[in-house]
A and B are shown apart, each in its own frame.
Chain A
């Protein structure tokens, strides 16, 4: 294991920001910390960076503890949401700053800066000042600045949140490409599940200062462990055990135990819908989302969301029958009973 965080705890007065959180990052891995605001993900990142002190627990890199090492001696790279370029330095000076601190000779710094500017596709901006760049450009430079020193770990604190949608998608792909080609172990904080799904090798989903579930994007999306994860990772239909028993008894086979604490989670694209004059259900409304349609269907067991691709013969009011395969259903723990959380 490359970077390990073991039982990290952080409290502010009465508020527990992190409660014995343990995570691991392997060499070359891209890990996303995903969760709603206030879930402790940024606190965890700052603890790893050394910008905040631990109250308990241990962080170690390749087996040696980091806790007593100040941020400037950890050799990490960090990119903030707010770009945070040094406004008084040119773009080239910004990127070369870490190497300058390490006493690298000027030729080496210049060569590295040139390489990195090419890598982030902004070779012509070396002598500009940060204020003259767009947000997306500034964030690319911030990325270049962070990786200039060959960081042992790259930390990204919501690096895309301040950008508009198109730039965000571009930069997202670029971050992924750069990270893959350089193989830097990377930890990114985000509240955007789409971003996490697209980028991460592993997603760590957090809520209320604890890790709720960690796994590959596929696992988190298709096999959420709890109601919180299911709702946070996209749209889902959640049915109580009673509802399933009464209306979809086929699905009960996959239930892990007969406890009623479990809910059935069915992703809307997993439900088949066909027009059927004698069907028990009817389409209440249709949202056209470009590549897909989202139907709200009234069924005897309550409303369900269904997503279909391509041509769809249904209209509002069309009677339909639904088809749910047992394997499409995941049973999740209802953790929202204590904390009310809404899907992103």
Chain B
């Protein structure tokens, strides 16, 4: 059949087909968003990095590469990334192994504590460390020693606490994949527990560990909050961009550093995606969950180690909450709520604004990724694949770089997009695209679990795309959509790096306010504000759990179907 024939046939079939139009709309609208709010700004960053005066050239790069400050920041970023990765993967493996391969009571405590750092702006770890180990910290004063917490060590601990939850989740997910039958087979063949650990557990977790390492590395070198609060003189690339842009108003140089920061994250993200694929390939269906039996030596040591780490997390975050209620840290430790009377930096208005922005980002974002995933399933792979790759790209872009891209793109009167500049809508948009990948991939995972036969059955019964999306697909992946909604909400509540460039004196968000308060020396008020943010996020988590539990109850055991 000739190409022309194929086309006329397609037209004859597609011309009147509402489903086809709907598919195009499903993919088209989110795709326009991706291009306008991700691809285009990223192109602008690149162009600005090579803009010298009125023409293009590599002058900016030469200048940046020639400055000792840049090389110091790069070295620091790499060392910090490496050290944090090593530490958090090690601790993450201990905890994940404890959770999924050991038998001891109270695992729910570890499970709940371990996610705490994700529920707070990243600078909360830094604040907590200052209250614990800083010059006026609880520990320093109790021991009467002066610890220099600002700088490498403080930043290392803060970053590790921040990266740890992700390491535990990723390694845990890899360990869970190995089912009980495998261990039973090894047991019957006479393998000792140590051999089983070495020959089964470790190989199963291999890709998880690799994956976790890359995620931790990326998270660390792109994080801005911790570095800004506790980094001190230990400059890293993220703070370098900030000082170039905000301190020296040198946008082109900021763009160059941004592109430089992009390199390691893109590489690391690419490798991580490959590792994920390998892991998925090794997955089998019809698994039997592993139920470890009690082994005193292994379980007691794992349990105490895990609990110790958890105690550290609780201590660091708890001290922030505690300090927010202390009258005058560290001199008058009486309790009071006076720090909650925040007047500086716009008071609580930024908190309410952040909640509105987060709800908008979550609702719009969830809808967008759902439509995109729904439409992509119906497109030929040759078309769907490039879109899928684009949709998975934002995760490789550090928040600082995305924020910078936005200010360069939207603070320019060259296009009508300028209208968005300084609006809450733009902050909601940047938050969504910052976390686009995670949301998109979660929904795609949901779609992958949706049996094809289910949609086919609906189709044979006469349901069109809209109908089967509403009645069959959406209910099936509803739990995933709920997770994506709350994920986007919580991330938008606490993120700092992307939005730090987009706030204006009239429009601020919670994490930026915390940073401003801390900068102004109002550490206790910063703690109070952080506590409020954490409270909002905890309520959101509660809502999510309740929603998911209710959905689970309605169709109990539907996983079997």
Seen from chain A, the residues whose Cβ lies within 8 Å of a Cβ on chain B are 49-51, 68, 70-78, 80, 82-89, 97-98, 101-102, 129-132, 138, 142, 145-146, 149, 155
Contacts and interface: CB of A to CB of B under 8 A. Distances in A.
Nearest to A71: B459
29 contacts: A50-B459, A50-B460, A70-B17, A70-B459, A71-B459, A72-B460, A72-B463, A72-B464, A73-B462, A74-B460, A75-B462, A77-B461, A80-B453, A84-B451, A85-B561, A86-B454, A87-B558, A88-B472, A88-B476, A88-B554, A88-B555, A89-B471, A97-B463, A101-B462, A101-B463, A129-B556, A131-B556, A145-B457, A149-B462
Contacts of A138: 561
Contacts of A71: 456, 459-460
Given A130-B561, A131-B561, A84 B454 contact: yes
Given A72-B462, A72-B464, A132-B556, A78 B561 contact: no
B467 A101 contact: yes
A101 B453 CA distance: 18
Interface string B465-490: 00100011001101000000000000
Contact of B453 (A50, A77, A82, A89): A82
Contacts of B461: 72, 77, 97-98, 101, 145, 149
B561 A87 contact: yes
Interface in B411-457: 451, 453-454, 456-457
Among A51, A74, A87, A142, the one with the most B-chain Cβ atoms within 10 Å of its Cβ is: A87
Interface in B201-238: none
B555 A129 contact: yes
A155 B461 CA distance: 12
Among B461, B463, B476, B558, the one with the most A-chain Cβ atoms within 10 Å of its Cβ is: B461
B456 A78 contact: yes
Nearest to B472: A86
Contact of A102 (B457, B462, B475): B462
Contacts of B478: 88
A-B residue pairs, 5 tightest by C-beta: A88-B475, A131-B557, A98-B461, A87-B558, A84-B453
Given A75-B462, A101-B463, A84 B457 contact: yes
A130 to B, nearest CB: 4
A49 B555 contact: no
Contacts of B456: 49, 51, 71, 78, 80, 84
Contacts of B555: 87-88, 129, 131
Among A70, A97, A155, the one with the most B-chain Cβ atoms within 10 Å of its Cβ is: A97
B21 to A, nearest CB: 14
Among B13, B457, B471, the one with the most A-chain Cβ atoms within 10 Å of its Cβ is: B457
Among B451, B478, B560, the one with the most A-chain Cβ atoms within 10 Å of its Cβ is: B560
A85 B476 CA distance: 11
B505 interface: no
Contact of B457 (A68, A73, A75, A78): A78
Contacts of B560: 131
Among B451, B476, B560, B561, the one with the most A-chain Cβ atoms within 10 Å of its Cβ is: B561
A72 B557 CA distance: 29
Contacts of A101: 461-463, 467
A72 B457 contact: no
B356 interface: no
Contacts of A70: 17, 19, 459
Contacts of A155: 460
A138 B17 CA distance: 33
A75 B19 CA distance: 17
B12 interface: yes
Contacts of A85: 561
B243 to A, nearest CB: 52
Contact of B458 (A49, A97, A132): A97
A77 B558 contact: no
Nearest to A134: B560
Interface string B8-42: 00001100010100000000000000000000000
